[in-house]
């Protein structure tokens, strides 16, 4: 199918001032934590290059800080240091080699920072502490505002020396410019506070300073927040007015948009699968109606059809696809060449991208084990082998796909009639359905790569021997493990028993959460929707403690409230009793901080607890004449990313 | 003091034929000073400062003995450390200290985030903190760990280290094998829980030989008597292992009590004294025993040595705060105190903070921050005929540090304090359980100032015109005027008394109107928790209101988060979580759920607002551009106050201040190699 076929809008050129992009797929700015000692690395260059090869219309790098007072996270690029230019050149040369333009985002995070790394006071318009960092900033004085502007000019000059085609000013979700624009954080009474014109003064002075540094041949964009989603913050009317002011300067070539404040409402910026796609399109559409400049829309664009539709509907002129291209660098190329169904669709699970960012780790992806490792070449495949993979969950599928891609003959045996393992199980809960994309993508890839898939096969040592393999990858997963306190009551069941349809709890249900992730909360949601009265008890201080990492905490708590789900913390189960197996269950609990005993009377108990590795086949095969490896939960039951990484690692080293 | 009046801490001791110049141990701890996973240049400067100040034994940051262990991003890896160890050994040997390489494997208490491989542990028992399920080690993994310890030890002594310390402490694989909680194996390693440790010690001794120091850090109480290692178990361990060791440090902590290893001041100092004494009796002279556990005062260390509780004393945090601890104690000089706040020195945190110290912010920054204090042996600063003069406005931590540093460098300084006492916000905060030690820092600053001849005038208000006349008279001025309370973010009526934390702490709990006291904590920090505990201890009914899901979220850094919540619950403090305080009307506070907007009401006669404060800028606004430090720039913590007070003083002395010490290229070790 030709490019003009399926996605007529996506694959048309667009002028952003002096720069013309060939398509509307933007790899917009996002943190990667790939910098070391404040400078960009080879890891950056290879990462961006992969998306350029994959056909992105435009790349905008992560932010480059403009001043030493700005150091909110460890691996920030210190754009004000001249040492960065070398790293910039490496990035731009590698991206330009594939005909793709690349802009640099420059920024000062203002009060959305702490002094921990910089050992300097944090700068902001007013002494209003940020809700995340909670440090009172220093209200900048007039001479310090000049210093900020000089910093932007300096970093713009570094970016020009580094070969960028344009500059984007992040004024949207974590920025001193946002701080000035927002009535929530700007309480000044001088020329930089009060009216919108005053609050926008810094922005307009920065536009002036940067444009005069970069000249007319380079593009300049401004990223604006359309709704901060905080009390007293910027809303869409202000954003539209700001966009008009920006356009009126005549010095800006495009407007990018965003929603939320990174340190207050991040869950709406990097929305997980709990937030509907396209949720932020009211912003670019309102701005687009007010200005003639091209406007970028963002917000959980997962597939090219959805992006094309946003353009067709006139909501925006260009579409930011970040996680979609983290998961699949070839997102645009596959869409353009009529292979959209081959795209490794992002799940919006936020586990290894957003989740790792928040923990100061390098950016990865749950289903793309090469994300962030583009700069590390894979070893060349050695002798072609016959490989038998046992288990069709994410770990086994990834091993099979990678092995087949590398030229091995691969047979995959799965005991169940369907593939996907626990990814399939997790996705049974309606609000978690997109999690199944990890399996769907892998199954499609396995078929594409010619993996011979046999389902409904209970692989034994004998069956495997019969295959005469050169190598075996055991990916047999895990099975539920009954906790010591659960006894043998048939109404004390595992989450998997419920999701896989072996148990049908009714009435009063207590979910025991010892994992702190989606297992307990999603089964609770499911059961509440089926009419159960649900309470979650956990030994932790919070139910679902890791939901904060994937930005699911807010939506979970709203859902729990709507469904009347009770959340109880600091409780350790001590036993269950149900005399004569009749009537309700008594669940004994201990409140461990105080040592007091509690009870719950309920009809069912559902356990979200650690599973047991299904490793007997692996141990049986250890003395066979072929090489045997194991990956994923049969090593130790963990989360999906571990299975994918291990599947890939083992297959690469076959 | 010894019979002859000397200081026992300064007595030498011989370990495996190597003489340590004092009994003070600088124990292994996370610093985040590594260059990737190598002991780096910043480590060298950090350890050298403590060695020069009289530390007897320095144990470097625990290095992983095998790549399967990568517990935090900057955790040293033994195979990357040879060059760094060599530099540490040569610089520390030059001033006499014994240097041991800390070696360990965190097992199931590590992290898979960096290695991206399953954690290794004796049994598949999830760590209580991370909840990550490790894989049970097979024979291959066990042999790998044993060999890893041996090889790492060989590398360490080849690099010139005097020996190694094997970690079987609160966060270690070896302890996991010792414990019935985490070791549920039914093989030889399950039946003999010391088997792996004895194999490791054998491998290490074989690698280093008899003339190098083999030390062990041993958790002797997991504080989980139902299945964990108890002091009774530990006595057997010590009896079994004593003959193989040259040094043993008695520590505590396990899977449910990792923070009990080096807690903040809510745990009394010297908490391991009895445990250490017991283990020393079991060791019966076969191995010198080190006392560990929040020992930060010289007197306590002396007493432990005098009454034979220990042969050496680990004074890690004391020597972070005061690198010249031993030298100063020996010279009978006052020592800059560790206040056991854990604010900057406990750095096992995803953000990789560089280790530092509220008392001495130069800690961890030795390669960039100028030397502030004169060495002990240096004579009193030479006084010029007309010393430069300074007026410091405000006698809080920032003002006192500024005055102290100026005076140290020969300035004639006056500190003008508006209130009737010194110490500012830090002294005001030093009230309530676990909080009184905070005042030690301002006490020391004040005493140092006075002994250096600084004039401190309390009850003396400075007006703008006086700044002008000072300047005209050639007197430098530094403002350290602190903070003022911010107007509450909620409305109230006369039925509820609203006051800020400092005003509340200035009075007594019984002075407050009768009824429930609501402590409003938008920060999630130690102050509100301290206020709540102070009130509850006085029998008041208390509720603490936070927008977070947990009270005191910022305490995760100091290690007090879980403990603080337990204390609050035991004290009967109601915890109103994920709640925004919208108003204080009609004898109650009106709260709103942060996510659902659901309103709720809690009775209240008093609200104590522990929110962020505003800078007191009155003088600055009157004379903009005047140098200023601490809370009057932006109200933050004592660390920033001390740091900025010091910086302003150094700037007046013409010393340039380097900021951003982690930019551009990695500093090379080459410059410090002997």
Which CATH number fits the domain that encloses residue A625? 3.40.50.720
Lowest-confidence pick of A376-385, B9-18, B318-327, B514-523: A376-385
Residues whose CB falls within 8 Å of the CB of residue A261, separated by 6 or more in sequence, listed in order: A112, A173, A174, A178, A225, A228, A229, A230, A233
Best of A40, A360, A479, A636 to substitute, by most chain B Cβ atoms within 10 angstroms, is A636
Looking at residue B671, what is its pLDDT?
43
Residues of B in contact with A359 (CB under 8 A): 113, 350
Residue A322 and residue A455 share a domain: no
pLDDT, one tens digit per residue, over A59-81 is: 999 999 999 999 999 999 999 99
Tens digit of each residue's pLDDT (9 = 90 or more) over A127-185: 999 999 999 999 999 999 999 999 999 999 999 999 999 999 999 999 999 999 999 99
* A283 in any annotated domain: yes
pLDDT-derived band at A6 (thresholds 50, 70, 90) equals confident
Distance, in Å, from the CA atom of A169 to the CA atom of A152, rounded to the nearest integer, reads 9
Residues B118-140: tens digit of each pLDDT = 999 999 999 998 999 999 999 99
Q: What is the pLDDT of residue B4?
A: 55
- Interface test mutation site (partner A, options B40, B41, B123, B133, max chain A beta carbons within 10 A): B133
Residues 296-325 on B with a CB inside 8 Å of A are none
Q: Give the domain CATH number at A546.
A: 3.50.50.60
Residues A36 and A130 grouped into a single domain:
yes
User: How many Å lie between the alpha carbon of B644 and the closest alpha carbon of chain A?
Assistant: 9
CATH of the domain at A221: 3.20.20.70
A485 at B interface, C-beta within 8 A: no
Domain boundary among A358, A377, A395: A358
Q: Answer whether residue A370 is part of any domain.
A: no
A430 and A296 share one domain? no
What's the mean pLDDT when you consider all of chain A? 96
- The interface predicted TM-score (ipTM) is 0.96
Same domain, A218 and A300: yes
Q: Domain range for residue A560?
A: 484-608
Is A265 a member of any domain? yes
Tens of pLDDT along B346-385?
999 999 999 999 999 999 999 999 988 764 444 444 555 7
Contact yes or no for B470/B383 (Cβ under 8 A):
no
Is A591 a residue whose pLDDT tops 60?
Answer: yes
Whether B129 and chain A come into contact, CB under 8 Å, resolves to no
Which tens digit of pLDDT belongs to each residue from B204-244? Answer: 999 999 999 999 999 999 999 999 999 999 999 999 999 99
Put simply, whether A557 touches B (Cβ < 8 Å) is yes
Length of chain B: 674
Answer whether residue A352 is part of any domain: yes
Q: Helix H segments across A162-235? A: 176-181, 196-199, 201-214
- Percentage of the residues of chain B whose pLDDT score is greater than 90: 92
Question: Do A569 and A640 belong to one domain?
Answer: no
Is A122 contained in some domain? yes
Spatial distance between the Cα atoms of A453 and A476, rounded to a whole number of angstroms:
15
Cα A138 from Cα A132, distance rounded (Å): 16
Q: What is the pLDDT averaged over residues A627-646?
A: 98
Do A506 and A562 have their domain in common?
Answer: yes
pLDDT higher than threshold 60 for residue A398: yes
Three-state helix/strand/coil letters over A328-395: CCCHHHHHHCCCHHHCCCCCCCCCCCHHHHHCCCCCCCCCCCCCCCCCCCCCCCCCCCEEEEECCCHH
Task: Give the percent of chain A with pLDDT over 70.
Answer: 99
Pairwise CA distance, residues B553 & B521, whole Å:
10
Q: Which residue of A has its CA nearest to B625?
A: A141
In a domain, A634, yes or no: yes
- pLDDT band of A381, cuts 50, 70, 90: confident
Domains and CATH numbers, chain B: 8-330 (3.20.20.70), 389-484+616-652 (3.40.50.720), 491-612 (3.50.50.60)
Residue A73: CB partners within 8 Å, gap ≥ 6?
A: A31, A33, A117, A360, B351
| Angle between helix A518-529 and helix A553-562 axes, rounded to 10 deg | 30
Q: Considering only residues 96 to 135 of chain A, which have any Cβ-Cβ distance to chain B shorter than 8 Å?
A: 115-122, 127, 129, 134-135
Listed residues A312, A342, A358: the one ending a domain: A358
DSSP letter assigned to residue B60: P
Q: Which two tokens stand for residue B169?
A: 């402490």
A423 plus A504 within the same structural domain: no
- Residue A326 is predicted with a pLDDT of 98
- pLDDT at position B380 is 45
Closest CA to B615 of B528, B474, B475, B486: B486
Nearest to A636 among B113, B135, B664 (CB): B135
Co-location of A522 and A425 in the same domain:
no
Mutate to test the interface with B, among A71, A136, A373 (most CBs of B within 10 A): A136
Provide the number of CB pairs (under 8 Å) joining chain A to chain B.
134
For B512-525, the pLDDT digits (tens) are 999 999 999 999 98
More confident residue, B540 or B672: B540
B300 has a pLDDT exceeding 80: yes
Length of chain A: 654
Q: Please report whether residue A381 resides in a domain.
A: no
Query: Above pLDDT 70, what percent of chain B?
Result: 95
Tell me: do A155 and A21 sit in the same domain: yes
The pair of three-digit structure tokens given for residue B413, joined into one six-digit string: 């300084």
Each residue's pLDDT tens digit, A277-326: 999 999 999 999 999 999 999 999 999 999 999 999 999 999 999 999 99
* Total domains in the fold of chain A: 3
Q: Examine the domain organization and report whether A490 and A432 are in the same domain.
A: no
- Asked if A612 and B124 come within 8 Å (Cβ–Cβ), the reply is yes
Which residues numbered 590-619 in B keep a CB inside 8 Å of some CB on A? 593, 595-596, 598, 612-615
Instruction: For residues A320 and A454, state if they share a domain.
Output: no
- B614 chain-A contacts, CB cut-off 8 A: 127, 136
Same domain, A618 and A520: no
The answer to whether residue A372 sits within a structural domain is no
- pLDDT on residue B138: 96
């Amino acid at each position: 199918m030709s490019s003009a076929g399926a996605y007529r809008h996506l694959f048309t050129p667009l002028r952003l001032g002096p720069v013309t992009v060939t398509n509307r797929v933007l790899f917009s700015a996002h943190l990667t934590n790939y910098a070391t000692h404040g400078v960009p690395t080879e890891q950056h260059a290879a990462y961006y290059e992969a998306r350029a090869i994959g056909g992105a219309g435009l790349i905008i790098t992560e932010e480059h800080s403009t001043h030493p007072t700005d150091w909110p996270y460890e691996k920030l690029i210190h754009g004000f240091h001249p040492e960065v230019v070398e790293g910039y050149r490496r990035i731009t040369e590698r991206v330009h080699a594939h005909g793709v333009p690349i802009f640099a985002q420059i920024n000062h995070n203002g009060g959305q920072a702490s002094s921990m790394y910089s050992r300097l006071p944090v700068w902001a318009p007013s002494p209003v502490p940020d809700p995340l960092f909670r440090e009172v900033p220093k209200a900048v004085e007039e001479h310090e505002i000049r210093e900020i502007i000089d910093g932007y000019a300096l970093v713009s000059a570094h970016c020009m020396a580094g070969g960028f085609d344009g500059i984007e000013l992040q004024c949207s979700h974590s920025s001193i410019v946002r701080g000035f624009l927002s009535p929530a954080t700007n309480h000044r009474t001088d020329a930089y506070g009060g009216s919108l014109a005053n609050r926008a003064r810094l922005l307009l002075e920065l536009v002036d300073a940067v444009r005069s540094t970069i000249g007319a041949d380079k593009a300049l964009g401004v990223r604006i927040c359309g709704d901060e989603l905080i009390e007293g913050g910027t809303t869409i009317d202000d954003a539209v007015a700001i966009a008009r002011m920006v356009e009126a300067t005549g010095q800006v070539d495009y407007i990018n948009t965003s929603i939320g404040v990174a340190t207050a409402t991040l869950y709406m910026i990097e929305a997980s699968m709990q937030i509907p796609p396209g949720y932020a399109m009211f912003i670019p559409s309102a701005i687009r109606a007010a200005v003639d400049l091209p406007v970028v829309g963002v917000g959980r664009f997962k597939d090219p059809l959805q992006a094309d539709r946003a353009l067709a509907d006139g909501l925006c002129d260009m579409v930011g696809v970040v996680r979609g291209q983290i998961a699949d660098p070839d997102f645009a190329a596959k869409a353009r060449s009529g292979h959209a169904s081959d795209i490794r669709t992002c799940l919006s699970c936020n586990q290894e991208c957003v989740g790792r960012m928040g923990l100061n780790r390098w950016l990865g992806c749950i289903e793309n084990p090469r994300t962030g490792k583009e700069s590390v070449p894979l070893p060349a495949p050695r002798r072609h082998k016959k490989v038998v993979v046992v288990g069709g969950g994410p770990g086994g599928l990834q091993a099979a796909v990678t092995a087949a891609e590398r030229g091995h003959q691969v047979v995959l045996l799965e005991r169940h009639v369907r593939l996907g393992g626990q990814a399939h199980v997790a996705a049974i809960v309606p609000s978690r359905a997109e999690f199944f994309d990890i399996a769907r993508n892998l199954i499609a890839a396995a078929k594409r790569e010619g993996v011979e898939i046999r389902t409904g096969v209970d692989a034994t040592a004998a069956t495997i021997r019969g295959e005469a393999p050169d190598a075996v990858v055991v990916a047999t997963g895990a099975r539920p493990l009954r906790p010591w306190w659960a006894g043998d009551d048939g109404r004390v069941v595992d989450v998997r028993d419920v999701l896989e349809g072996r148990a049908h709890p009714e009435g009063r249900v207590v979910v025991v959460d010892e994992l702190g992730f989606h297992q307990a909360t999603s089964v609770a949601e499911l059961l509440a929707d089926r009419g159960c009265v649900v309470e979650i008890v956990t030994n932790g201080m919070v139910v679902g403690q890791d939901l904060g990492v994937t930005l699911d905490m807010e939506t979970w708590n709203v859902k729990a409230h709507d469904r009347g789900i009770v959340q109880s913390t600091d409780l350790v189960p001590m036993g269950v009793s149900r005399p004569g197996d009749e009537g309700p269950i008594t669940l004994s609990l201990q409140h461990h901080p105080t040592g007091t005993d509690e009870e719950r009377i309920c009809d069912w108990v559902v356990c979200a607890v650690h599973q047991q590795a299904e490793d007997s086949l692996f141990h049986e095969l250890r003395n066979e004449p072929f090489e045997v490896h194991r990956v994923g939960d049969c090593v130790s039951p963990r989360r999906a990313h571990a299975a994918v990484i291990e599947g890939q690692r083992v297959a690469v080293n076959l | 003091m010894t019979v002859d009046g000397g200081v026992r801490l300064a007595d030498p001791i011989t370990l495996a034929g190597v003489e340590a110049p004092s009994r003070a141990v600088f124990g292994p701890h996370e610093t985040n000073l590594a260059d990737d996973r190598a002991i780096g240049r910043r480590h060298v400067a950090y350890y050298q400062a403590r060695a020069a100040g009289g530390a007897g034994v320095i144990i470097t940051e625990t290095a992983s003995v095998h790549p399967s262990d990568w517990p935090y991003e900057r955790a040293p890896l033994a195979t990357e450390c040879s060059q760094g160890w060599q530099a540490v050994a040569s610089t520390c040997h030059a001033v006499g200290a014994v240097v041991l390489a800390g070696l360990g494997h965190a097992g199931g208490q590590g992290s898979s985030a960096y290695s991206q491989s399953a954690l290794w542990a004796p049994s598949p028992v999830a760590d209580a903190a991370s909840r990550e399920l490790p894989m049970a080690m097979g024979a291959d993994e066990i042999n790998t760990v044993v060999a890893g310890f041996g090889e790492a030890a060989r590398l360490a002594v080849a690099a010139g280290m005097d020996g190694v310390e094997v970690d079987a402490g609160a966060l270690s694989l070896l302890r996991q094998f010792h414990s019935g909680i985490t070791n549920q194996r039914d093989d030889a390693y399950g039946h003999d829980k010391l088997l792996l440790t004895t194999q490791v010690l054998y491998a290490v001794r074989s690698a280093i030989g008899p003339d190098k120091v083999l030390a062990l850090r041993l958790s002797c109480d997991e504080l989980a008597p139902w299945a964990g290692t108890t002091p009774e178990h530990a006595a057997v361990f010590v009896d079994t292992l004593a003959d193989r060791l040259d040094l043993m440090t008695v520590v505590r902590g396990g899977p449910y009590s990792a923070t009990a290893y080096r807690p903040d001041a809510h745990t009394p100092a010297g908490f391991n004294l009895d445990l250490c004494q017991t283990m020393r009796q079991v060791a019966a002279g076969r191995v010198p025993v080190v006392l560990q556990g929040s020992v930060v005062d010289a007197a306590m260390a002396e007493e432990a040595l005098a009454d034979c509780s220990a042969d050496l004393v680990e004074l890690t945090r004391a020597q972070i705060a005061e690198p010249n601890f031993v030298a100063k104690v020996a010279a009978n000089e006052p020592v800059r105190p560790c206040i056991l706040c854990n604010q900057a020195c406990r750095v096992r945190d995803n953000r990789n903070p560089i280790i530092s110290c509220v008392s001495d912010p130069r800690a961890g920054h030795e390669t960039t921050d100028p030397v502030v204090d004169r060495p002990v042996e240096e004579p009193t600063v030479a006084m010029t005929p007309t010393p430069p003069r300074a007026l410091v406005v405000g006698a809080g931590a920032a003002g006192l540090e500024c005055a102290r540093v100026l005076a140290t460098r020969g300035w004639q300084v006056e500190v003008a304090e508006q209130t009737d006492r010194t110490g500012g916000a830090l002294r005001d905060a030093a009230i309530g359980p676990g909080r009184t030690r905070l005042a030690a820092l301002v006490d020391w600053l004040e005493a140092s100032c006075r002994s250096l001849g600084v004039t401190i005038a309390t009850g003396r208000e400075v007006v703008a015109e006086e700044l002008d006349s000072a300047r005209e008279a050639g007197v430098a001025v530094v403002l350290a005027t602190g903070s003022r309370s911010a107007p509450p973010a909620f409305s109230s009526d006369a039925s509820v008394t609203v006051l800020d934390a400092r005003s509340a702490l200035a009075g007594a709990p019984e002075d407050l109107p009768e009824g429930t006291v609501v402590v409003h904590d938008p920060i999630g920090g130690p102050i509100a928790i301290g206020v709540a505990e102070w009130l509850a201890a006085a029998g008041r009914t208390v509720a603490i209101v936070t927008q977070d899901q947990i009270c005191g979220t910022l305490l995760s850094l100091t290690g007090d988060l879980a403990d603080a919540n337990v204390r609050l619950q035991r004290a009967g403090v109601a915890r109103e979580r994920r709640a925004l305080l919208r108003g204080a009307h009609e004898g109650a506070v009106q709260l709103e759920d942060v996510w659902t907007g659901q309103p709720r009401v809690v009775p209240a006669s008093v609200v104590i607002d522990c929110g962020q404060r505003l800078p007191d800028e009155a003088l600055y606004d009157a004379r903009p551009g005047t140098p200023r430090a601490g809370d009057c720039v932006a109200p933050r913590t004592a660390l920033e106050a001390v740091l900025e007070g010091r910086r302003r003083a150094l700037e007046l002395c013409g010393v340039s201040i380097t900021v951003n010490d982690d930019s551009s290229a990695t500093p090379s070790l080459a410059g410090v190699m002997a």
